[in-house]
């Protein structure tokens, strides 16, 4: 799938000026190796997208949490717009496949660096803002946060799945399985319930707005069910 077709599928809308989006995926190393033809790197779009993203996320949090104080909203926003969060979103959107980089950068895995992916994500938002307007960006961020916010705040801060695995493996070789047990709600606002099974025995469940968030919640609960030697001491 071409870059533009991929982005139109993500946005659910036709783009108007493809040049904005093409520029958003041009790393400076690529432009340096391919000068001329008016080709530009994505740094200016990244600068613009950074500001648009902060406003859109601020608006989202302001509307979602009616009773939270300024300090709480500020801390939440910082977690959602930090480099690790944006890089995760870029990977989920397969942006790494479309980044144009210089040969040396690409050979050293530059398209997988968090800093590069976060910049491309912001540049994409800057391009969308110029092409389709702020409301399109805000609507898209609302949709993305509805799906991913739980994971961005919880899983990226505390890797509960790894912590549970390490605890469980203290008893030797184990079988760990996460199973979706329920999906409720409309397609755009689903809640997932996941069961965490240790050696075929369900020891915890978790819920979230995405499968990853539900798995993380289940792993967090499972950690609370085990002692420091990996023995199951309580469940449910």
Active site residues: 50, 122
d(CA 85, CA 114): 9
Burial 144-158 (b: 16+ CB within 10 A, else e): bbbbbbbbbbbbbee
Nearest Cα to Cα of residue 26 among 119, 142, 150: 119
Exposed/middle/buried for residue 38 (C-beta within 10 Å: 0-12, 13-18, 19+)? exposed
**Sequence-distant (≥ 6) Cβ neighbours of residue 7 within 8 angstroms:** 15, 21, 124
Q: Return the structure tokens found at 45.
A: 């779009």
d(CA 235, CA 175): 17
φ/ψ region of 191 (left if φ > 0, alpha if ψ in -120 to 50, else beta) reads beta
């Amino acid at each position: 799938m071409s870059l533009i077709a991929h982005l139109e599928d993500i946005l659910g809308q036709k783009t108007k000026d493809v040049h904005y989006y093409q520029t958003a995926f041009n790393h400076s190393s690529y432009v340096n190796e391919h000068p001329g033809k008016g080709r530009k790197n994505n740094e200016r779009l990244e600068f613009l997208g950074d500001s648009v993203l902060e406003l859109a996320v601020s608006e989202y949090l302001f509307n979602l949490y009616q009773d939270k104080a300024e300090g709480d909203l500020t801390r939440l926003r910082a977690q959602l717009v930090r480099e690790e969060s944006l890089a995760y979103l870029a990977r989920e959107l397969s942006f790494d496949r479309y980044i144009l980089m210089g040969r040396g950068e690409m050979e050293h895995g530059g398209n997988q660096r968090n800093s590069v992916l976060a910049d491309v994500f912001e540049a994409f938002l800057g391009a969308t803002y110029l092409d389709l307007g702020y409301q399109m960006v805000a609507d898209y961020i609302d949709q993305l946060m509805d799906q991913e916010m739980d994971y961005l705040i919880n899983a990226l801060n505390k890797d509960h799945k790894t912590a549970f695995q390490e605890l469980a493996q203290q008893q030797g070789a184990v079988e760990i399985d996460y199973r979706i047990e329920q999906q409720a709600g409309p397609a755009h606002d689903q809640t997932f319930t996941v069961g965490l099974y240790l050696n075929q025995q369900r020891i915890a469940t978790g819920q979230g707005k995405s499968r990853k968030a539900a798995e993380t919640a289940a792993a967090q609960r499972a950690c609370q069910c085990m002692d420091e030697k990996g023995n199951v001491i309580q469940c449910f």
